[in-house]
Structure 1
Amino acid sequence: MKKLKTLLSGIVVTASCMQLQAQVLQPGSDKAILQTKQGSIVELPGFLTEKIDKINYQKIVLPGPQFIISDDPEYIRVPEAIALKEAVVPGAVRLYLYNVNGVKEPAKIDRKIIAVLKNTGKQTMHLRMLKYSSQKPSLNYFQIGKQGLADYFASNGSVVIRSIAPGKSISIDEKLDKHIVKYDELVHGFYEFVIDQPGEISVVQAAPGTPVQVAADKIKNIIPFGHANAGRGIFGVSNYKVLNDKVVDTKDGVVQLMLADGATDPWVVGKESHSGKIAKLAGNYGVMYDVELKWKSTDGKGLALVTWNSRSADNQWCGGMAASIVVSGGLFPEGIIQLPKDRLVTKKAPEAILIQVFKPSADGSEQTIKLKYSPPGASCLPTPLIFIPIDLK
């Protein structure tokens, strides 16, 4: 993934709250937020900082699919090579593919990058796609990252069942088999499917036009595992449920939910089977967070939800941020929101992106905010989710 700044990491499941400093909107910012369209940028001068009180939460590991990611190496420098190879068992599988044609020696050449599934069982394998997201290879990593997430969230899968004979291989995404990937172009795929035989998943770079079965049978060299990028291997966590310890109350001021920072929310771990080494998924890309936050308003204020590019100053790779999220209803309807919706990226403070504005209940009783979040590929992390009490009158 395009250069991620990694913070401290550890093995914990309870996020700690750091009492830092109260953040207050400048005069007129309430009005500016309310005049902003959902998914659009609103400027909040003097407000955005990482030093905002964090929401205490619990992460519950939910049952989920076997989870495989291919992003190490991100740039495949070898003309014909395997960037990932992992065994899977019958059941559900999630595969996140994030690789680039990096061949430049002795010359920059066209390639294809495909995800291959081999049936290693003794009976015919049947595959059905549960969720599917595939974009045309591109140099526009930010667009691919946020569009890929949005398409995954929106996908309803397929009723088509594909059959694979024992010992045979197919391309998991038939579109990728037809794409020509030019130098430095990103191949991005997000798939969740179910199989009924044991199998083997490989990510292969080969010459355009190479049949899938030929690539699977003839290409044997596996690129060494390097820990150079976000991750590679099969991981033990694919889905989290996030629940706050204490009800968020508008009277207590601004708070933020911090996910995918490597400290408050540690990286998940797994195994890279070719080397046998423990793998750390720096960024938790492809992990799904099902968030449920309890909140109330004892002072009659609403709650605006925004995010921003908190790492814009880190390095040249962090100059923009783009994401997608699913949010429950408020002043705007519930649904999938690309962040930002009306331009490619947000850059830096004072820019914030408005995700939703939640209205207080008439009697001040508790309500639940629901979010579906996954760390956005191609953007630096974290992407803080900031809840701002605002006057809706």
Structure 2
Amino acid sequence: MMKLFKTMLISTLIISQLLMASAVSAEQADASQSAAEQTTANPQNEAKTDMTEEQAERPGETPVTEEAPDTEQTADPQETAGNGPATVDPAESQEEQDLLILKANSDKMIHNGTEYTALQPVTVKDGNSYVSLRSLAERVGINVSFDNSTKETVLQSGGHEIRFKMDSATYTVDGVKKKAHGPAYSQNDIFMVPLTTITQALNIPLTFNAETKEIILNLYSAPSAEFIVKTQDIRAEQTRVEYEDRSSHPRGLTIVEERWEGKEEIFQEPGLHVITRWVRDENGVWSKPYSVTVNVRPAKQPPVAFFVTNQDTYRMGELISIQDQSTDEEDSIVERKWDNKERAFFTPGQQTIKLKVTDKYGLSSEYEKTITITEETLYTRDDFNKLYTPVGEKYTFNGGSVLELPKIQFKSTDWGKVLLRSNSPESVTTEGVVYDDTINGDMRFLIHHKNISNQNLKFYVVATNPYDFDVAFGIEHVGFAGPNEFESITGQKSLQRYFESLQKGGVRQTVNLAPGESKLILTDLSARAAKPGQVVSMMADLYSDAPVRYRVVAVNESKDVMASLPFLTLLDRDGVHIRGTYQGSNRTISIAETIGDKPARMMLADKTDDPFLVGRDFMNGMDSVNLGNYGVYYTIYLEKVAPNTLISFNPRGGLYSGVFMVNGELVPAPESGNLNNRDEASVLYRTGSREEKVTIVFSPASGSNLPVNLLFYPLPDKKD
């Protein structure tokens, strides 16, 4: 290192002594530089050419750089992206030289043997060698411009920006300030910069030939052929491989050609594959090779579909136990599709059950098994369904027979929260206020709206403190679903999430309102806009220590709701659906007598056995009946449910999709899809061999139809 330093020092002193003989004074700057032509400054590599402060004072000294030896890099067998030069180069004989020779104390510039005249000679000023920035930039292939607002000379270079300023001993690269080897100045109206500073900024190697007294700049610049393999898991004969171009040029030249070795769209053979690429720029310069090694795994085998039954022969109405034993080498089965899979069959003969399994790669296989159903009957269809339909799933039966069941008579008690129901107009055609009321204390929101306008709407709840003192309120429980085009499923999901919030307990959020302040609350509702045809549904419990004004509004997704609020009109009811404010929205029903020892039913939300809440629509001042009791929170205490009793749920008004809490456990009704009509029922609970207390929590689900029945049946005796 000491020997190298001494050599550099001697070279620098020779250049300095030679150039100082013809130094000239500075005049005003050239401010009419032309528009920039892109090239490259490489600030990330600048550390390789930086001189020490001592070396900077020695004009012409050669910066020392280190280059890593070429090596091939292999990606991790589990990865498919890496980098490293390859071993084969189609442009191997290409010389990596593009030489510019500056004559000492001369304006002559020899570029690859051709002589050019610089605007000013290489000049020494205050111990620093200076060159004409424009003349050097032209040879490098860069045009310069002038920023009149900052009075800076600017070079745009391959995505980087270099700025020099008159009489300043600093310059910037991409906004980062650097120390120059001397201040820029004007010489005969030509902008002059320190030679070592501009070559360092442009990452140009510089040497001095002591014998010929020449400063030699190597302007050679090659593109990079970098790329990545985006596909992570590559399988022979199966995977279509995706590549991403990451090539670049240090001076922003256009890449016009590429060459590949080992690149395949679909690899045919497993193992390690080396993919190599070269690129050529518009000047005909080829890059070094760039390689990525990928591990191509053997072709993925499809999953194996397989199942067993506990028997090969069954009686009619006998439970069929099926055990899925399908396998996959990566445990990546994403779909199981059954055909003719029944819990029991009720006609004699051969029955073929089929299973198709599909993995995440789209590969699949099928398996089938044929069983025999004899002419002997174990259970009728009705008895079998009562015994073996899983909780949460539905079964079919003669819905007309329900009307023959005796009704369970009960009385109810209403108490607790004020209900604010916003459901009319259910189908919103334009922006506006869909409900507005001021509530004090505990309250419950039930919001259910569909966007049928021609714009994307967001639904908001705005809470306003109408008083001159602070008001605090809390958000206790929230269930939200949507936007979604399926009304009944959206209503079911919002109710399910409300019940889940109840199970977790506690206050979800507390809010303080200053006098006159308005805030957005229940922001899940407005997180995403509802597109035309989509539904939003929410049920939420709140409380406050003073009256709060609540407004439910619909606004175009692009607008500021608070700015729009004063200009929104009050939307009229649709004449079919309900909105209003109702007192006592918690309803408790207690039944002390024994239930389930004989078939019976309990009718809910029918107006007669289970009356509707009556309240007021404070948007128009009219009385409002909560048809269906949507938003009412039912707690049904059954003190004595007989042993071996089936409790199921049967809609009477049409399609229904809801959820219950039975003894604290969530039970969908049904687990998937809908109860489509009165001939379908969903299993809620079965008692065991002893009498039990059963507590059922229920609230009519938005988007579904009422009234509904709870059905109670003694279970049939089990047979062998």
Does the pair score TM above 0.5?
yes
Alignment partner of 2:444: what SS?
A: strand
Contact 1:322 1:339 in 2 (8 A): yes
Number of equivalences: 337
1:345 aligns to what? 674
Contact 2:387 2:715 in 1 (8 A): no
Contact 1:227 1:279 in 2 (8 A): no
Q: CA deviation at 1:167?
A: 1.6
Q: CA deviation at 1:227?
A: 4.0
Contact 1:126 1:197 in 2 (8 A): yes
Are 2:588 and 1:241 equivalent residues in the alignment?
yes
2:448 aligns to what? 98
Matches within 5 A, 1:70-89: 70-77=422-429, 79-89=430-440
TM-score by length of 1: 0.80
One-letter identity of the residue aligned with 1:85:
D
Q: Structure 2: give runs of 5+ residues left out of the alignment.
A: 1-378
RMSD: 2.1
2:555 aligns to what? 206
One-letter identity of the residue aligned with 1:380:
N
Instruction: Summarize the Cα distance change of 1:271–1:355 in structure 2 as closer, same or farther, 3 Å threshold.
Output: same
Distance (Å, rounded) in 2 between the aligned partners of 1:48 and 1:171: 50
One-letter identity of the residue aligned with 2:456:
D
Alignment partner of 1:50: what SS?
A: helix
Distance (Å, rounded) in 2 between the aligned partners of 1:296 and 1:118: 48
After superposition, give the CA deviation of every residue in 1:14-73 in whole Å (9 maximum; x if it has no partner). xxxxxxxxxxxx8353333222211011233577433321101010122x1221000111
Contact 1:117 1:169 in 2 (8 A): yes
One-letter identity of the residue aligned with 1:123:
F
Aligned partner of 2:644 among 302, 305, 308: 302
2:534 aligns to what? 185
TM-score by length of 2: 0.45
Q: CA deviation at 1:392?
A: 5.3
Aligned partner of 2:656 among 312, 321, 332: 321
Contact 1:44 1:351 in 2 (8 A): yes
Alignment partner of 1:162: what SS?
A: strand
Q: Structure 1: give runs of 5+ residues left out of the alignment.
A: 1-25, 312-317, 329-333
Alignment partner of 2:489: what SS?
A: helix
Contact 2:601 2:712 in 1 (8 A): yes
Aligned partner of 1:266 among 580, 592, 611: 611
Are 2:419 and 1:67 equivalent residues in the alignment?
yes
One-letter identity of the residue aligned with 1:184:
G
1:357 aligns to what? 686
Instruction: Summarize the Cα distance change of 1:371–1:199 in structure 2 as closer, same or farther, 3 Å threshold.
Output: same
Are 2:576 and 1:228 equivalent residues in the alignment?
yes
Instruction: Summarize the Cα distance change of 1:177–1:248 in structure 2 as closer, same or farther, 3 Å threshold.
Output: closer
Distance (Å, rounded) in 2 between the aligned partners of 1:249 and 1:112: 48
Instruction: Summarize the Cα distance change of 1:289–1:59 in structure 2 as closer, same or farther, 3 Å threshold.
Output: same
Distance (Å, rounded) in 1 between the aligned partners of 2:422 and 2:403: 30
Distance (Å, rounded) in 2 between the aligned partners of 1:215 and 1:158: 31
Aligned partner of 1:133 among 449, 468, 479: 479
Distance (Å, rounded) in 2 between the aligned partners of 1:160 and 1:266: 34
Distance (Å, rounded) in 1 between the aligned partners of 2:468 and 2:557: 31
Q: CA deviation at 1:269?
A: 0.6
- Stretch deviating more after TM superposition (208-217 or 139-148): 208-217
Distance (Å, rounded) in 2 between the aligned partners of 1:355 and 1:57: 20
Higher relative contact order (CA 8 A, sep 6+): 1
Contact 1:169 1:216 in 2 (8 A): no
After superposition, give the CA deviation of every residue in 1:151-174 in whole Å (9 maximum; x if it has no partner). 111103544322222222222221
Contact 2:595 2:712 in 1 (8 A): no
1:20 aligns to what? none
Instruction: Summarize the Cα distance change of 1:358–1:120 in structure 2 as closer, same or farther, 3 Å threshold.
Output: same
Q: CA deviation at 1:141?
A: 0.9
After superposition, give the CA deviation of every residue in 1:127-180 in whole Å (9 maximum; x if it has no partner). 321111111211111111111111111103544322222222222221222311
One-letter identity of the residue aligned with 1:98:
H
Matches within 5 A, 1:16-55: 27-45=380-398, 48-55=401-408
Alignment partner of 2:526: what SS?
A: helix
1:314 aligns to what? none
Distance (Å, rounded) in 1 between the aligned partners of 2:494 and 2:506: 14
Aligned partner of 2:633 among 288, 294, 303: 288
One-letter identity of the residue aligned with 1:223:
L
1:15 aligns to what? none
Alignment partner of 1:149: what SS?
A: helix
One-letter identity of the residue aligned with 1:102:
I
Distance (Å, rounded) in 2 between the aligned partners of 1:163 and 1:210: 25
Instruction: Summarize the Cα distance change of 1:153–1:87 in structure 2 as closer, same or farther, 3 Å threshold.
Output: same
2:623 aligns to what? 278
After superposition, give the CA deviation of every residue in 1:279-337 in whole Å (9 maximum; x if it has no partner). 1111100001110123354xxx51101112323xxxxxx3x321100112xxxxx5011
Distance (Å, rounded) in 2 between the aligned partners of 1:351 and 1:81: 40
1:335 aligns to what? 665
Instruction: Summarize the Cα distance change of 1:274–1:352 in structure 2 as closer, same or farther, 3 Å threshold.
Output: closer
Are 2:521 and 1:172 equivalent residues in the alignment?
yes
Distance (Å, rounded) in 2 between the aligned partners of 1:47 and 1:273: 41
Distance (Å, rounded) in 2 between the aligned partners of 1:327 and 1:232: 29
Q: Which has the larger radius of gyration?
A: 2
Alignment partner of 2:383: what SS?
A: helix
Percentage of identical aligned residues: 21
2:710 aligns to what? 385
Alignment partner of 1:258: what SS?
A: strand
Alignment partner of 2:402: what SS?
A: coil
One-letter identity of the residue aligned with 1:222:
L
2:696 aligns to what? 371
Contact 2:465 2:471 in 1 (8 A): yes
- Stretch deviating more after TM superposition (147-156 or 343-352): 343-352
Distance (Å, rounded) in 1 between the aligned partners of 2:621 and 2:574: 12
One-letter identity of the residue aligned with 2:481:
Q
Distance (Å, rounded) in 1 between the aligned partners of 2:399 and 2:446: 38
Q: CA deviation at 1:272?
A: 1.1
